[in-house]
Amino acid sequence: MARPLSRRTLLQTAALTAAATAVPAAAAGPAHSAPNAPATPSGVPAAWTVRPFGLEDVTLGPGVFDAKRRLMLDHARGYDVNRLLQVFRANAGLSSRGAVAPGGWEGLDGEANGNLRGHYTGHFLTMLAQAHRSTGEQVFADRIGTVVGALAEVREALRSEPAVLSTGGRFGRAAENVRGSYQYVDLPAAVLDGTPALTLSAWVRPAHGAAWARILDFGDDTTRYLYLAARNAAGVPRFAVTASGPGGEQGLDGTAPLPLDEWSHLAVTVADGTGTLYVDGAAVARNTAMTLTPAALGTLAHHWLGRSHFPADPVFAGAFEDVNVYARALTADEVAELHAGRAADTSAGRGDLASYAFDETAGGTFADASGRGLDAGLRRTWGAPSHPGFLAAYPETQFIALESMTGSDYTRVWAPYYTAHKILRGLLDAYLATDDERALDLASGMCDWMHARLSVLPAATLQRMWGLFSSGEFGGIVEAVCDLHALTGRPEHLALARLFDLDRLIDACAADTDVLEGLHANQHIPIFTGLVRLHDETGEQRYLTAAKNFWGMVVPHRTYAIGGTSSGEFWKARGVIAGTIGDTTAESCCAYNMLKLSRALFFHEQDPAYMDYYERALYNQVLGSKQDRPDAEKPLVTYFVGLTPGHVRDYTPKQGTTCCEGTGMESATKYQDSVYFAKADGSALYVNLYSDSRLAWAEKGVTVTQSTRYPEEQGSTLTIGGGRASFTLLLRVPSWAAAGFRVTVNGRAVPGAPVPGRYFGVSRSWRDGDTVRISVPFRLRVEKAPDDPGLQALFLGPVGLVARRPGPEPVRFGLYGNAGLSGDLLPSLTPVPGRPLHYTLDGVGLAPFAEGTEDPTHAYFRRSEPRVIFGTSDSTVANPAREDGTTLLDEIWAGAPFSGKGALVARVRATVDAWVLAGLLGRADGDKVVSTARRAEYAR
C-alpha cells in the first residue's frame, strides 16, 4: 500500500495544477473550478476537486510504455552526471574533474556559442527525480545528491571572489583557467613602467585551440595595446604592438601551433627596433621594423593575462606558470635558459618589472617576486553576480544583455530564462523527490535573484523582452515559480511569476482572438501552462480563459494526426495541415508541453477532449519519438518528426542534447502520470488511459490493477484489491470508439449507453476481487487533412499506422474496396502473422507510429479510389468527385454503419440518384454501381 500523499508529494504529482469540480457518474461534461481557494487540512487546495496520483502510486506493468521506460532508466543510471556539471563548474572557476561536457547544446562549442548550456542538466535532474519516484531505486537519489551538491558548491563559488585553481605545473604548481570560467589575471597598472625595451616570458599550457585567446594583453582599448596570443587566425602564436588599432599592428607570428594540454615556453623581446618571438627556447620570428615600444604607447590602463581588449575574443583556457616581465631584451642564450628551468634559477633571474610564479594553492592573489610589490588578482570578465542567488552555467551577462535587446539574436543571447527554468524545475523536482533542502534553497535563491533583477525593470522593457523570438523565450518558468511559491509562501515569488506576463498574447487569447500564426510554437505553449498555475495562485480568470482558448486554437486546427504541432518550430495559418508538412514538422517539445497543458486544463474542466488529445499525442508522437534501442551516451529522442513521404526519424539530432531530448527524457520516466485521477473527496476515480498498471489508492485503502496489452488488445481488465470502498469508476470512452464500448462487472453487463467522447460511470461499493472488464473494439478509420481531404492518416483505435516505404513519392491507397458493413476499413488490410498491429496493403507494410525505428515512413498517404468497388467487386465505373473533393464512395460510406446488405444497397441507390440528378454521374454508370453493390459480398 502506498503512503498517504503529503503536501510535498501532491505538489510534485499534480504540478500544483488546481482541479475542477466532479463530473456526473454516467457522462462527463464541462465544470469549472473555484480558484485561489484555501488548502484543506490534508494539504490539498479546496479548488482541487480532481487530483492526480504520485508517480510512486502508479506502477507500470509490461507493455510498450514499460519497455520504452526501461531504456531511459538504463541511460539515467549509467550516464556520468559530472559531464553535465562541467559547464557549471567551469563558469564558477572550479575544477571540472576531468569531465567533458556532452557537446551539442550542452557545451561551449555547440550551436550559438553554447548559449543554452545548463538546460540539459535541469532536464536530467527532473528525469532522475521521476525515476526515483517511480522505482524507489537508491541509485537515482544518489545521483540527484551528486548534482545538487555540486550546484550548491557552484553557487557558493559564484558568490565569492574567484579563487585560484591550482594544478600541476612544468616545475611545481601552476594556476589554471578552466575553459568557460571567464577568469583572467589583472596586473597592476605600473607593470611596464614606460620601459623602452621589453622581454615577456611565460610558461603556458593551452587547453583549447580557439583563435585570438590572449596569453597577455596590455593596453587601453582596441587602439593602443600590445598582446601575445596563443593562436592567431592561422593557429600559430602571435605578438603584436600598435598605437593605432589592428591596422597599425607591428607583429611577430610563430610557425607552428602550440600543442594543447602540453607546456610550452614563449618569450618576446623588443628593443632597438627589433622584435623576436621565441617558442620553447628557439627564435621562430624576427621583425627588424618594430619601432613601437611600451614607452611609445605611454601609460596603459589594463594589464591582463588571459583576457583580450576585443570583447569577442575568447578568454584564455589553460594554465600559467612562471610569468616574468623584464625591462630589457634578454639574449637568445638567456631565453634558452628560461626554457630549461625556473626564471629564479637562471642567469636572467626573475623579471625586474614583474614576476609571478603562480604556485599559490588558495585565494585569488598572485604574489609578485620582482621586488616591486605588484601583486596580481584573479578576476571575472563579467564581474560578479548581481545577487547571491544567481546560478547558471554561463555569466549573468546573458540576462543583462537581454534587457537592452530590441531584436532577436540567439548567437548573442539564447533564451537565458528558458535555461533558468530548466534548472529551477530540476531543482524543485529533486527536492520533491528526495527532501534535499539544498535543492529547495538553490531554487528559492534563483527566484530571489530573478525577482531582484526583473522587478526593477519598466513594464515596457519586460513586454519587449518576452516578445523576442528565441532570446526572450522563458519556457515553463511561470509554472515552476508558482510551484515554488506554494512551498515558500513568499509574496516576492508570486510577484516574480507575474513579471513574465506577455500581455498582448494573454489578452488576445482571453478574447479568443487567434494570433498564433507566425509565432514560435514551443516558446508559447508552456506560457499557458504557467497561466493556469497563475490562475490557481491569484484567482485571476483571464489567465485560465486565455489558456483554454489557446488550447482550442491548437487542437485540432494546428495539430497533425500524430498529436504534434508546429512546422519548422513555428505555427502557420489556422487549419493549414497539408500545406505545412515538411521534414521539420511536429517538434517533440511541443507535444510534451501540449500534454502538460491538456492535463492542467482537465483539472479545471473535465472536458474529455483534453484526455482524447492526451491519448493521441502520447500513444503516437511521444512514444514514437523514443528509439527502441539502448544507448549509454544519448537518450535517442527525436527533435522533429518529419511528415514528408519516406521520412526517416533522426534520434540523435544536433549531437544529442537539444530541448526535445531533454523533454524526451522526462516523458519516458512519467508515462503513468495521467492514467488515473481522483476526485479530491474520494468519490470517484477517473480511468483516463488504458495501460497495464497498478494504482495504490492509499486514501481508499484499495488497489486498482489494470491488466491489458492495449493497444494490441482492444480492451482492459481492472481488478479491485484491498478492503471495501465506495466510489464511482469513471471510464473514458474514446471519441473514436464508434464500434461500441462495453463494460461488465464480475461478468455482468453494466446497464447504460456509453457515449464516445465522454466518461462512463460505474458506481459501486467495491470489494476485494471485483473485476471490471472493458471492451472497446477498434475500427480502421481515416483522418483527413482539413485543407486537403485527399491527404489522410490511418488509425486503428488510438494507433496511428504508418506506411513503411522510401519516399519521396507519397503512398497511394484505396480502402473502400473491401470495407465492412460497419464502415470498418480494416478488411482491406492483410494482417502480418505474429505481429499485432502490423498489416500490409498493396504490398506496402503498415506499422504503429509508436515503434521507434529508423524505417522510412509515411504518416500521411494519398487516398486513391479511382473506380467504384464494393466487396472487391469492381463496377469499372470511375469514382466521380464533387468540387470539394468528396467522392461518390465517400458519400456512400458516410452512412455507415449499415444494419445489413440491404441498408447499404439502399444507401447506394439513394446516393447514385442524387448524383445523377446533380449531373455528376451518368444514369448507365449509376445503374452499374447499384448492381455491383447488390451482388457484392461484405464483411461485417
Question: Residues 18-48: pLDDT tens digits?
Answer: 322 223 333 333 333 333 433 433 444 456 7
**How many C-beta atoms lie closer than 10 Å to residue 135's C-beta?**
19
Q: Are residue 497 and residue 558 in the same domain, yes or no?
A: yes
pTM over 0.85: yes
24 found inside a domain: no
Q: Are residue 317 and residue 182 in the same domain, yes or no?
A: yes
133 found inside a domain: yes
| Residue-range definition of the domain harbouring residue 846 | 778-864
The whole-number pLDDT of residue 940 equals 85
Residue 649: all three cell numbers together? 526519424
Residue 618 — very low, low, confident or very high, per pLDDT cuts 50/70/90? very high
Please say whether the beta carbons of 219 and 227 come within 8 A: yes
DSSP 258: P
Q: Is the pLDDT of residue 767 over 60?
A: yes
Q: Are residue 376 and residue 400 in the same domain, yes or no?
A: no
The whole-number pLDDT of residue 35 equals 36
State how far Cα 168 lies from the chain centre. 39
Choose one of 864, 887, 910: the last residue of a domain.
864
18 found inside a domain: no
Q: Which of 932, 867, 939 is nearest to 896 (CA)?
A: 939
CA distance 465 to 398: 12
Q: Are residue 557 and residue 451 in the same domain, yes or no?
A: yes
CATH number, position 354: 2.60.120.200
Choose one of 380, 408, 429: the last residue of a domain.
380
Choose one of 832, 864, 896: the last residue of a domain.
864
The amino acid that residue 449 corresponds to is W
Q: Are residue 450 and residue 351 in the same domain, yes or no?
A: no
Condensed to tens digits (0 to 9), the pLDDT of residues 864-876 reads: 999 999 999 999 9
CA distance 688 to 615: 8
State how far Cα 102 lies from the chain centre. 15
The whole-number pLDDT of residue 46 equals 55
Condensed to tens digits (0 to 9), the pLDDT of residues 788-847 reads: 999 999 999 999 999 999 999 999 999 999 999 999 999 999 999 999 999 999 999 999
Three-state secondary-structure class, residue 322: strand
Poorest-confidence range of 10-24, 622-636, 686-700? 10-24
Helix, strand, coil shares, percent, the chain, to 5 = 30, 25, 45
Condensed to tens digits (0 to 9), the pLDDT of residues 547-588 reads: 999 999 999 999 999 999 999 999 999 999 999 999 999 999
48 found inside a domain: no
Its sign, for the CA torsion 426, 431, 432, 434, is: positive
CATH number, position 743: 2.60.40.1180
160 found inside a domain: no
CA distance 198 to 202: 13
Would strands 165-168 and 274-279 be described as parallel, antiparallel, or unpaired? unpaired
Q: Are residue 644 and residue 685 in the same domain, yes or no?
A: no
The residue behind cell 555569466 is 395
Q: Tell me how many domains the chain contains.
A: 5
Q: Are residue 706 and residue 829 in the same domain, yes or no?
A: no
CA distance 604 to 336: 78
584 found inside a domain: yes
**In angstroms, how far apart are the furthest CA atoms of the chain?**
114
Q: What is the residue-averaged pLDDT of the chain?
A: 94
| Phi, psi angles (nearest 5°) of residue 564 | -85, 170
CATH number, position 600: 1.50.10
The residue behind cell 464483411 is 939
23 found inside a domain: no
Please say whether the beta carbons of 378 and 178 come within 8 A: no
15 found inside a domain: no
| Phi, psi angles (nearest 5°) of residue 381 | -60, -30
Say what percent of the chain tops pLDDT 70.
Answer: 95
Q: Are residue 754 and residue 804 in the same domain, yes or no?
A: no
The whole-number pLDDT of residue 884 equals 87
- Give the mean pLDDT of 853-882: 96
Sheet order of strands, 684-687 included:
50-52, 676-679, 684-687, 725-733, 758-766
Please say whether the beta carbons of 579 and 572 come within 8 A: yes
The whole-number pLDDT of residue 108 equals 87
Please say whether the beta carbons of 376 and 187 come within 8 A: yes
Q: Is the pLDDT of residue 745 over 90?
A: yes
CA distance 277 to 513: 68
Q: Are residue 460 and residue 502 in the same domain, yes or no?
A: yes
Q: Are residue 700 and residue 810 in the same domain, yes or no?
A: no
The residue behind cell 535517442 is 636
